[in-house]
Every structure is written in structure tokens, then in C-alpha cells.
Amino acid sequence: MDKFRMIFQFFQSNQESFMNGICGIMALASTQMYSAFDFNCPCLPHYNLAYGLGILLVPPFILFLLGFVLNNNISMLAEEWRRPQGQRGKDPDVLRYMFCSMAQRAMIAPVVWVSVTLLDGKCITCAFCTSVPVETLGNASHPRLSQGEIQRVLARIPCKEIYNGQQLIANEVAVRYLRCISQALGWCFVLLMTTLAFLVRSLRPCFSQAAFLKSRYWSHYIDIERKLFDETCAEHARSFAKVCIQQFFEGMSTDLVAARCHLPRKAPADAGEAAEKLLGITDWGTMNMALKSWHRCKPPLHLYPPALPSGNGWAGEGQPPTHPSAPRRETAAYYSWV
């Protein structure tokens, strides 16, 4: 249990680790889905190709879209891309980094699905069973079958229980031939994906490390800023609701006092703290204006120190004196009455 707790805490440490965990879970789920999937080839000449390629390509596309949906950064990317310019510019490199990062993670589950499907060989066997070279592997000079009948017989190769073309080509020979081709394609696909991942991870820092660090930093900043803004809005809403409910009950107690001459109860001590957290935003319209202002013109990313007043009236304009004034000399005079 401690190991699982440590793994769970690692996934929750930051957004990137969390999304890596989600993509790993989706990759395992894709293999479980394929193992639990009941593959039934239609064994018809005009439907085998569509069914086999559909099982090979459609689920990876769905898993790819699901990887984008489960990624929390997709809404942040859309918001950053569509927001007005305002007081803060939009860096296309940061947007490109965010999109590429999400696309790379979303590709994990589809790659696993395609790899497992090709290594299993059922889809390729169903899709290309009518393309088996009968001249090489079987008896192409069968006198009683036309070309259309031969295609119908070959289409039944994945369905061993209804296959009746042993005199044309043995079922085991055709299935083994197609499965070998499928496994070869599967290992080539795995090798290609592994090589691409290695090149991307190893060669990217060699060319644009500074730009990569800059894009990654500001991508994390946008994510953290959004979380802090949501937390601040939630805290303001909590304080607003607390003060609003407190004022409602104070008004009700005042009405009861006027009607029944009862003394009102003392207000709770945390009401003042909640009022301080409102920061002057105490009505619906002002809060909506603040939210619209945050969306339209976010503050520029420039921090400046607060102005420090001094004794001579300096309030941040210009530079304060860097060298203290020289100490004043005092001279003592002595007079004698000689």
C-alpha cells in the first residue's frame, strides 16, 4: 500500500506527472479492451477490408481524441489561443509547446492499440485474406472455380469453421502467411515509434534548449496562474456568500427584535475576516467586470517593487540617495578673561 500511495502522490505532484499517469492508464486500458474484444470477421469479399482496417484505425482515433479530452490543458490552450491580446502578448511558441505536449501524450494509447493489433494479426488476416498469392501457396489451376468464386472462398479464410477451400489453399498456410506479415509490420511499427521518440527526446535539447526551456516555463506558469486564479475566485465566492448570509440573518434578527423586543445575538468573529477578503468587490456587477477584465486584458508579466516613502517626501519617483550626507562638524570656542 505504501508503494501505491507513493505512486499516487507522484502522479499528483504536478500537472505533467498527472497526465503521464493518465496516459499510462489509458495504454493499459487499450490492451485490456483489445483482449476483451470479440473479433468477428464478416468473411465476405466486400466487407473484410473495411472491417479489418476499421478495427485497426478507428479505435486509435477514438483513443487519441479521448487523450485530448482527459487532458486538462486543452481548455487552457483554447482559452489562451482565443483570448484577446490585452496587456499581455500571446507567445506562439508556448501554444505550440502545449499542443505538442498534449499530442505526444495522447498518442501513447493509439500507438499501443496499433502495435498490439498488428502483432496479433487478426485484423490483417481479415482485411487482406483475398490478396493471398494462390499461385505461390496453393493450387491456382482449380478447374471448377471462377475468379469471383475464388474471391469468395479466400474471404472465408479467417472463419475456419465455414472455410471450404482446402483444395484451393490450406487454411493454416494462408493464416500463417498473413500473420507473419502482420507481425513483421507490427515490429517495424514499434521500432519506428521507439526511434522517433528517442530522436525527439534526445536531439531536441541539442538544437533549441533555450527556446524549449522558455516555452516549458511559461506553459507551467499559465497552468499555475489559472489554478491560483480559480482558488482566489473560490475563496472570494466563499467570503462573499458568508458575508451575504450573515447580513441576511442580521436583517432577520433585526426584524425579530422590532417585533418581539428580543436582543440580537452577537455577530461571529469571522465575519470581519470574510469582509476583508472581499477586497472591495461587494456586488454582482463589479465581480463580473473584474472577471471580464481578467479575460480581456490580463496584467503584464512585469513585477515591480512597491514604492517606499522616505522622510524628504520621496515616493518612488527617481532614485533615492545612495550615499549618506557627510557628518556635520562641531567646533567649540573657549574665551578667557585675562
Helix, strand, coil: what percent of the chain each, to 5? 65, 0, 35
In the predicted structure, residue 274 carries a pLDDT above the cut 90: no
DSSP character at residue 138: S
Q: How confident is the model at residue 204 (pLDDT cuts 50, 70, 90)?
A: confident
Helices (H) and strands (E) in the chain, counts: 12, 0
Residues 6+ apart with CB under 8 A from 182: 118, 119, 120, 121, 123, 124, 125
Question: 1-49: per-residue pLDDT in tens?
Answer: 565 556 555 555 555 666 667 777 778 888 888 888 888 899 998 899 9
pTM, two decimals, is: 0.72
The CA radius of gyration of the chain, in Å to the nearest whole number, is 37
CA distances (Å), 99 to each of 11, 74, 138, 212, in order?
A: 21, 8, 51, 13
Contact assessment for residue 128 and residue 178, using Cβ atoms and an 8 Å cutoff: yes
Question: 311-321: per-residue pLDDT in tens?
Answer: 444 444 444 44
pLDDT: which is higher, 165 or 253 = 165
Question: 206-254: per-residue pLDDT in tens?
Answer: 777 788 888 889 888 888 888 899 999 999 999 889 888 888 888 777 7
Sign of CA dihedral 287, 292, 297, 301: positive
pLDDT: which is higher, 332 or 138 = 138
Concatenate the DSSP letters of all residues of 226-292 into one string: HHHHHHHHHHHHHHHHHHHHHHHHHHHHHHHHHHH-PPPPPPPTHHHHHHHTTTT--SHHHHHHHHH
Q: What is the pLDDT of residue 269?
A: 56
Q: What is the pLDDT of residue 315?
A: 44
DSSP character at residue 47: T
> What is the rounded CA–CA span in Å between residue 209 and residue 264?
67
Percent with pLDDT over 90 in the chain: 23
Q: Write down the domain spans for the chain.
A: 1-210
